[in-house]
Amino acid sequence: MEQTGSYQLQTFTANAGSEVKRLKAQVDLFWKKEIKFYRMFGLKDSMTVLECGSGPGYLIENLSAEFPNSSFTALEVDSYLFDILKQNAAMNGQKRYDVIQQSIMSTGLPDNTYDFVITRLVLEHLPDPIGAARELYRVLKTGGKAVFVANDFDFHLRTCPDIPELKKLYDAYCRSRQAGGGNPKIGRELPGILKQAGFVNIDMEIACAHSEITGDRLFLESEGIGISSQLVKEGYLTREALDEIAVQWHALLGSDNHAFYRQIFMAVGEKNPRAMPKNFIKKPEQSVRHNYNKSLAADIKTIEQPRKLELIEKYLCEQVAGALDVEVSGLRSDLSLIDQGFDSLSAVELKNIIKSETGADISVAEFFEGRCIKDISRLLLDSLMKNNKKTERISADSRNNHARKEKKDSDIWE
């Protein structure tokens, strides 16, 4: 079965057997924290639960023991890991959960099937994480929850005393995964990914494992040496750097009061049929404000003075309402923009729109000096009038130059 992404078992680690042990330690390291969050996110007994990217099945094994009346399905694409998963699915002749060999990108599962879906440390290896999230959205029942667990290697394992050389290891790991289409810093992006996939009621938590709580052994096993060795083999990390890191680790473990901790990001979203993914939404026609845009400067020249300000104020109300995502009727033209919810991002957006559509350049600072729409309207009118006068002056100069040239040419021919 075709497998895509930056997690290819044969190239991810120097030893497949050690990788299976590392995956188990990685589950055990966070399990006591994770189960609390799964419960908080809505997982309970008697649900239908799917885990995508189950690996050898250590997480779903824990979950099935914790919720014995639930129905579990484990999905894994890698053949080596799937064989272990299939063996672990049965205990004492009793099937604990169903197993399917499929990709998270195309599970082959029916729509609206599961109450709860989990994918753990998978999205960071995929070239198309949003596509994977949409696939999980599809197989969820309406109102069902999906939890996405991911790393962010800017917030990976930290030690006390500090080991600065670890940065070389993590940078090498990130380059390796990115070369395979992955994103090892995807943790911070999870809420945005879920939103683009169509999920609503999105939330995110961080689970932290600390060596004083779990002990040193689990940390060491969950990191493993196979990945580091593979990075050296592929040229992402030098042997000298790996040797130095090993020496520093040895010194740290021998020091009193040493500690290290690691974090994983956990985001949850709910399926709601009224919230469709952005890419699936038909784009509306251009908003009303577009009717005022590039013709505004020209209109200012042709209408009477009292109506100039009225036209600009109407234009600005449309733009501010668009920036704040509110109805025009909900705005007050005499109340400061800050008091109506304007922030720095809204100010930059409005500044750019005004500049591109009218040619006038309003400073961002103007929006944050207690000014209201009426104030900004006067500033914009002044700027447009100056621009018009400048344009008229340039046109007059051009006409005069042209007339002088014609007269000079005429004199020559005479």
Helix (H, G, I), strand (E, B) or coil at 203: strand
Whole-angstrom Cα distance, residue 331 to residue 116? 42
By CB atoms closer than 10 A (0-12, 13-18, 19+), residue 392 is exposed
User: In this predicted model, what pLDDT tens digit does every residue of 243-300 receive, in sequence order?
Assistant: 999 999 999 999 999 999 999 999 999 998 664 444 443 333 333 333 444 456 556 5
pTM for the complete prediction?
0.68
pLDDT value at 328 more than 80? yes
Element (H, E) at 223: helix 216-223
Q: Rounded to an integer, what distance in angstroms lies between the CA atom of residue 282 and that of residue 137?
A: 19
Least confident of 86-90, 91-95, 126-130, 371-375: 91-95
Average pLDDT, the chain: 84
Q: Are 30 and 39 in contact (CB under 8 A)?
A: no
pLDDT > 90 fraction of the chain, expressed in percent and rounded:
52
Contact 374, 333 (CB under 8 A): yes
Contact predicate 27/58, CB 8 Å: yes
User: Quick one: tokens of 297?
Assistant: 């400067």
The tens digit of pLDDT for each residue in 119-157 reads 999 999 999 999 999 999 999 999 999 999 999 999 888
Residue 206 has pLDDT above 80, yes or no: yes
Higher pLDDT, 342 or 122: 122
pLDDT of residue 313: 85
CA-nearest of 148, 147, 163 to 219 is 163
Answer whether 16's CB lies under 8 Å from 79's CB: no
Higher model confidence: residue 161 or residue 286?
A: 161
Burial class (CB in 10 A: 0-12, 13-18, 19+), 85: buried
State yes or no: pLDDT of 11 exceeds 60: no
Q: State the DSSP code for 359.
A: -
Residue 310, pLDDT score: 83
Q: What percent of the chain has pLDDT over 70?
A: 81
Let me know: does 216 contact 257? Beta carbons within 8 Å. Answer: no
pLDDT of amino acid 159: 93
189-203, 217-231, 330-344: which is most confident? 189-203
Range in 184-188, 189-193, 303-307 the model is least confident about: 303-307
Q: pLDDT tens digits, residue range 371-399?
A: 888 888 888 888 877 765 655 555 555 65
- Give the burial string for 277-293 (b: 16+ CB within 10 Å, else e): eeeeeeeeeeeebeebb
Question: Can you give the pLDDT at residue 70?
Answer: 97
Does position 8 have pLDDT exceeding 70, yes or no? no
pLDDT of 174? 92
Question: Position 349: which residue type?
Answer: E
Is the pLDDT confidence value at 323 over 50? Answer: yes
pLDDT-derived band of residue 364, with 50, 70 and 90 as boundaries? confident
**What does the pLDDT read at residue 248?**
92
Answer whether 57's CB lies under 8 Å from 88's CB.
Answer: yes
pLDDT at 373: 86
State how far the Cα of 357 lies from the Cα of 354, in Å rounded to an integer: 5
Query: Per-residue pLDDT averaged across 1-26, rounded?
Result: 71
Q: Which of 107-121, 197-211, 338-352 has the lowest mean pLDDT?
A: 338-352
Residue-wise DSSP of 269-303: EE--TTS--GGGSPPPPPPGGGGGTTTHHHHHHHS
- What is residue 238's DSSP assignment? -
* Mean pLDDT of the region 62-82: 95
Rg (alpha carbons) of the chain, rounded to whole number: 31
Q: Please name the amino acid found at residue 81.
A: L
Which tokens belong to 219?
């940390």
What pLDDT is stored for residue 275 in this prediction?
Answer: 47
Region 25-43 average pLDDT: 96
pLDDT for res 284? 37
Pick the more confident residue, 117 or 368.
117
Contacts 24+ apart (CB under 8 A), 216-223: 216/253, 218/25, 218/28, 218/29, 219/29, 219/157, 219/260, 219/262, 221/21, 221/22, 221/24, 221/25, 222/22, 222/25, 222/26, 222/28, 222/29, 222/262, 223/22, 223/157
